[in-house]
Amino acid sequence: MAQQVIHRNNIKIYGNGEKTLLFGHGFGCDQEVWSGVAPAFTEQYRVVLFDYVGSGQSDKSQYSIERYNSLHGYKQDLLDVCDELQLKNILFVGHSVSSMIGMLASIERPELFEKLVMIGPSPYYLNDEDYQGGFDQSDIAELLDMMEINYKEWAKYLAPVVMQNEERPGLAQEFEQILCANDPVIARKFAEVTFLSDVRSELSKVHVPTLILQPQFDAIAPPNVSQYVHEHIDGSQLVVMEAMGHNPHLSDPEETVYCIKDFLEQ
């Protein structure tokens, strides 16, 4: 099982600190998105990076719709990584859907987690009666259809929407390449799980100190959603960043590092 998990999730370990800092990537990405952030922590922490099954350099032969048809399959990946490396009291940094995956893992196994950092989290992407997640059902249906019809065109359309920073077009081009590296079939299923999951009822069960980082002008997880998360996780901290777009770890790694360090050192 040991080598299976290490290979399956493409686990990489850097640094020699006493505390472990574990990074979880968002939908459509892999561990490489942390390349501008993770190195800043290797002197002080043991840094662990991994890919969810179906993403990056993971063993895609281990992917099954049965396991990964909900966030709980991805949560189990995270718990498997922790168990394989015998991790406890970890500091977990999750981007986007990984914020919610980390949250679910911390509820099931609170002894594993010392602190949570959520970057651009959303417990539910759809608009509801008294809740504005940012998308209507038709928006998500159109997005999923577009992924199925022409995945590369979908990536080309989505990348600048996600990244913002129009004056820095290289960021959108970089993110488009990240999206295009995915298996289109697996990516579409992961998108469906991400955008249709509703874990709002779980927020109040979090008892781990939590930092919520909210970039400005985030088209995927707007500020009111982070405010909602903040209000429903007892004792959480909310920081609105100067960074724009949904991927501040790519667009503004220095500010992302600063915000994480400030929280971890409290």
The answer to whether 59 is a known catalytic residue is no
For tokens 């697996």, the residue is 186
Q: Which of 55, 58, 96, 197 is catalytic?
A: 96
Q: What is the pLDDT along the chain (266 residues), one digit of tens a residue?
A: 456 999 999 999 999 899 999 999 999 999 999 999 999 999 999 999 999 999 999 999 999 999 999 999 999 999 999 999 999 999 999 999 999 999 999 999 999 999 999 999 999 999 999 999 999 999 999 999 999 999 999 999 999 999 999 999 999 999 999 999 999 999 999 999 999 999 999 999 999 999 999 999 999 999 999 999 999 999 999 999 999 999 999 999 999 999 999 999 99
49 DSSP β-pair partners: 12, 23
Computed from CA positions of residues 61, 156, 101, 25, in that sequence, does the dihedral angle turn out positive or negative? positive
The answer to whether 77 is a known catalytic residue is no
Map out the domains of the chain with their CATH numbers: 2-124+198-264 (3.40.50.1820)
Computed from CA positions of residues 185, 181, 141, 123, in that sequence, does the dihedral angle turn out positive or negative? positive
Q: What is the per-residue DSSP string for 144-201?
A: HHHHHH-HHHHHHHHHHHHH--TT-HHHHHHHHHHHHTS-HHHHHHHHHHHHH---GG
The answer to whether 197 is a known catalytic residue is no
Q: What is the C-alpha separation between 149 and 179, in angstroms, rounded?
A: 15
Q: What is the C-alpha separation between 18 and 36, in angstroms, rounded?
A: 22
